[in-house]
Structures are given as structure tokens and as C-alpha cells.
């Protein structure tokens, strides 16, 4: 049975004075509110149960910190508290730390992808997604790749009679070396400054000449040459 506004306030007042039963009753009465908050994050790639647990942490904090001197409903205070806890969890979670800007871009891409698919009658291209979120195509690719789940190369792919076959086992020796080198190179490139990353992208992924890169960046070809040499030295030393 739902509690009235006054009943909730009375229970919170008792809870803040150390009444654990009153605290428990307020929390139990607002668990449906937690689920309603979790629904806002259902397309962020996290299990609903995990987000529910984090939301409950926010609910408990709201009960403990609610200021009874203000004449507002508890839910008005609790919802932002729960949203904040979930947002912090999403921001800080992950084996590989992803920047907030990339996470926000990925979220914007997810929001426009379905409407674009319905409008176009097909899956949108990278350039169409980039135009919809006002970002560069390479930024869209980076955001989409960065938020993909991380899998260990020792993850079991097949198991029979107690013998497990991992992803690492499936890679030939040559492929193992290539894969490790690729991961190391990508990590080294991510440590470069934005302009240096742009030069690497244009020279080695777009196959542009130094003159073309210079024209796009608004600098001289000599500067591009010097920067490229410095970048390659840094990548070799990493």
C-alpha cells in the first residue's frame, strides 16, 4: 500500500533519528521508483539488475540526506539522487576507461540510429550517423568501437570432456603476434595529441600525401613532415 506524503516524511524523520524499521519501510515503499529510473538507462548496454542495485544505493542516500525543512515530495529529491548514482557508475565502470565525451557521443548515436533506420528503410551509413549527431565520421567509428564489450583472449570458446578451447588457442602463432602488435599500436596512437592522431589517420588510414594533410590542417608540408617523424619516433619508443 502506497504511503502518503505526510507518512513518508514521518518515517524519514524517524529513520534519520536511528529507527531502522522506519528506514526499511521508506526504502521498500519506493523500490518501484528505482525501477522507473532504471528504465531511462535501458539502452546503455548494462544489465537492468545491476543498475537497479546502483539505483537502490541512491535511494538509501536520499532517505538519509533528505532535508525535512523543505516542503517537497521525497520522490522529487530521490529521483535525481538515483540518476546521479547510475550516471557515476556508467561513467566510471569498465575494464577499459572510456572518456565521457566518447560515452556521450555513443549515446547520441544510439538515440538517432533507430529513427534514421525507419526513415531510410535501411541501416544508416557512418557518414549519415555522423551528420545526424554533428560529428566527424572517424569520431563516430571510434565511439561505436570503444563502447563494445571487452572480451578476454583467454575466454572459453568451446569445451568438451574438461578440455577448454580459448580464443587465444584459436589464433595461429603469426596471428597472435599480429593481434598483440595491433593492440599495442592502437594504445600508442590513443596517447598522441588530437592533431597528431589526425595526422596518423590521414596519412596511414586515408592514404593522403603530406601536402594534402598540410592543406587540410592549415599548416605547411614541412611542418607535417617534421610532426610525422616525431610521431613515428614516439610510436617506436612506446
Give me the domains of the chain, ranges plus CATH numbers. 5-92 (1.20.120.1810), 100-146 (1.10.10.10), 156-237 (1.10.10.10)
pLDDT tens sequence across 196-207: 888 888 888 888
Maximum CA pair distance of the chain?
Answer: 75
The Cα 105–Cα 176 span in angstroms is: 32
Show Cβ contacts of residue 23 under 8 Å, excluding neighbours closer than 6 positions. 11, 15, 63
Could you give the angle at which helices 100-120 and 74-92 cross, rounded to 10 degrees? 100
Does residue 173 have a pLDDT over 60?
Answer: no
End-to-end Cα, the chain, rounded Å: 62
Does residue 43 have a pLDDT over 80?
Answer: no
- E strands in the chain: 156-160, 163-166
Residue in the block written with cell 571510434: 142
Round the average pLDDT of the chain to a whole number and report it.
80
pTM for this one? 0.42
The Cα 101–Cα 136 span in angstroms is: 13
pLDDT tens sequence across 121-164: 988 888 899 999 998 888 888 888 776 655 555 566 566 665 66
Angle among Cα 127, 129, 134 to the nearest 5 degrees reads: 90
Amino acid at each position: 500500500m502506497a504511503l502518503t506524503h505526510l507518512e513518508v516524511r514521518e518515517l524519514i524523520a524517524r529513520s534519520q533519528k536511528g529507527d531502522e524499521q522506519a528506514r526499511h519501510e521508506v526504502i521498500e515503499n519506493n523500490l518501484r521508483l528505482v525501477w522507473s529510473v532504471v528504465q531511462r538507462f535501458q539502452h546503455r548496454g548494462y544489465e537492468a539488475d545491476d543498475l537497479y542495485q546502483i539505483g537502490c544505493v541512491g535511494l538509501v542516500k536520499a532517505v538519509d540526506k533528505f532535508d525535512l525543512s523543505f516542503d517537497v515530495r521525497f520522490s522529487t529529491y530521490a529521483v535525481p539522487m538515483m540518476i546521479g548514482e547510475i550516471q557515476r557508475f556508467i561513467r566510471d565502470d569498465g575494464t577499459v576507461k572510456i572518456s565521457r565525451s566518447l560515452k556521450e557521443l555513443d549515446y547520441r548515436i544510439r538515440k538517432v540510429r533507430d529513427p534514421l533506420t525507419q526513415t531510410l528503410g535501411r541501416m544508416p551509413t557512418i557518414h549519415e550517423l555522423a551528420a545526424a549527431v554533428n560529428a566527424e565520421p572517424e569520431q563516430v567509428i571510434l565511439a561505436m568501437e570503444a563502447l563494445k564489450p571487452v572480451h578476454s583472449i583467454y575466454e572459453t570458446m568451446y569445451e568438451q570432456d574438461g578440455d577448454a578451447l580459448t580464443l587465444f588457442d584459436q589464433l595461429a602463432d603469426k596471428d597472435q603476434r599480429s593481434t598483440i602488435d595491433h593492440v599495442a599500436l592502437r594504445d600508442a596512437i590513443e596517447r598522441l595529441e588530437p592533431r597528431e592522431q589526425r595526422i596518423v589517420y590521414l596519412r596511414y588510414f586515408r592514404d593522403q600525401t603530406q601536402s594534402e594533410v598540410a592543406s587540410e590542417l592549415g599548416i605547411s608540408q614541412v611542418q607535417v613532415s617534421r610532426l610525422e617523424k616525431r610521431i613515428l619516433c614516439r610510436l617506436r619508443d612506446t
